[in-house]
């Protein structure tokens, strides 16, 4: 894994868990493509739009005091853990065993991560990947564990897009006080600085709220997407899908979705602009 060129990262090593990358696609040489065309008042973005965005600069980028920098990292780590959820999808398949008699059995199950971005009418709404909750057209049941939960609770699927590999679910807020909302506005329509520090949070395997560090490399085309994705080096693993990728200050910059088996330094996230488009087009934000 590439070394992150900042002081103070080593001080956090006790909080991090090592992960192996899970296998997905490699780079492709496909030509740049656009996202779905504008229809019925929906919005869309071109890949080329990214290069017109201004660079983002946080005041914390200029900190030269190790203790102050570590305080920022620890605060960001804690914040994104409070916005992280574990989501479990159970898919049921109903078959006819005799004329007029059917049987319903568990066909498959999957788990992944999600990030809470909205509180509305007594519910928390969270983003995840479509491939985490994909029901394949069959009946499905979704459960979620938010920060501080001891047991999973039911979640409801609100919208999904297989093409964008995104989905939104919601669950009742109840008496929770530890859940925090991720910031989705600060980094919207901004460019990354090469080598910029990024943090990934998720639930790989049996590890809850795991946070890893890496750096932004570039915007790339891969076989899994028809738009440029965020290529970074923060380690993710199976179960990390749907988790947040954030900047130094904890602002959302993408949703982690894919890795490769060729290198531990190749992780990919759906960029915030695409996430924003998906949410606007589904009337979840304006």
Residue 23 banded pLDDT, cuts 50, 70, 90 = very low
Q: According to CATH, what is the number of the domain 87-172?
A: 2.40.10
- Does residue 97 carry a pLDDT above 80? no
Q: What does the alpha-carbon distance between residue 233 and residue 132 come to, in Å, rounded to a whole number? A: 22
Q: What does the alpha-carbon distance between residue 90 and residue 68 come to, in Å, rounded to a whole number? A: 44
C-alpha dist (Å) from residue 220 to 96, 102, 212, 227: 46, 47, 21, 8
More confident residue, 10 or 43: 43
For domain 9-81+182-281, the question of CATH label 3.40.50.1000 is answered with no
3-state secondary structure (DSSP) of residue 108: strand
Residue 263's contacts (CB-CB under 8 Å, 6 or more residues apart) are 21
Q: Sketch the domain layout of the chain as residue ranges.
A: 9-81+182-281, 87-172
For the chain, how far is it from start to end, CA to CA, in angstroms? 39
- Does residue 89 carry a pLDDT above 50? yes
Mean of pLDDT values over 48-72: 92
Which two structure tokens, joined as six digits, stand for 47? 């890949």
Q: Is there a shared CATH topology between the 9-81+182-281 domain and the 87-172 domain?
A: yes
Residue 35 banded pLDDT, cuts 50, 70, 90 = very low
């Amino acid at each position: 894994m590439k070394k992150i060129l900042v002081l103070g990262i080593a001080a956090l090593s006790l909080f991090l868990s090592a992960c192996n990358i899970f296998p997905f696609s490699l780079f492709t040489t496909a030509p740049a493509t656009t996202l779905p065309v504008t229809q019925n008042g929906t919005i869309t973005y071109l890949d080329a739009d990214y290069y017109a965005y201004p660079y983002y600069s946080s005041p914390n980028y200029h900190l030269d005091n190790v203790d102050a920098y570590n305080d920022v990292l620890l605060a960001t780590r804690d914040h994104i853990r409070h916005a992280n959820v574990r989501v479990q999808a159970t898919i049921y398949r109903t078959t006819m065993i005799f004329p007029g008699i059917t049987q319903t059995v568990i066909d498959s199950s999957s788990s992944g991560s999600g990030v809470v971005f909205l509180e509305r009418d007594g519910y928390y709404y969270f983003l995840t990947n479509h491939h985490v909750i994909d029901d394949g057209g069959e009946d499905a049941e979704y459960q979620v564990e938010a920060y501080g939960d001891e047991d999973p609770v039911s979640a409801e699927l609100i919208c999904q897009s297989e093409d964008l590999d995104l989905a939104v679910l919601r669950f009742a807020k109840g008496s929770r006080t530890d859940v925090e909302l991720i910031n989705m506005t600060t980094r919207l329509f901004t460019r990354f600085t090469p080598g910029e520090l990024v943090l990934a949070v998720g639930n790989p395997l049996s590890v809850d709220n795991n946070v890893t560090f890496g750096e932004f490399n570039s915007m790339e085309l891969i076989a899994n997407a028809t738009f440029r994705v965020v290529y970074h080096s923060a380690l993710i693993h199976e179960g990390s899908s749907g988790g947040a990728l954030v900047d130094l200050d904890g602002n959302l910059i993408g949703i982690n979705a894919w890795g490769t088996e060729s290198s531990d330094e190749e992780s990919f996230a759906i960029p915030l602009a695409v996430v924003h488009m998906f949410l606007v087009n589904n009337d979840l934000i304006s």
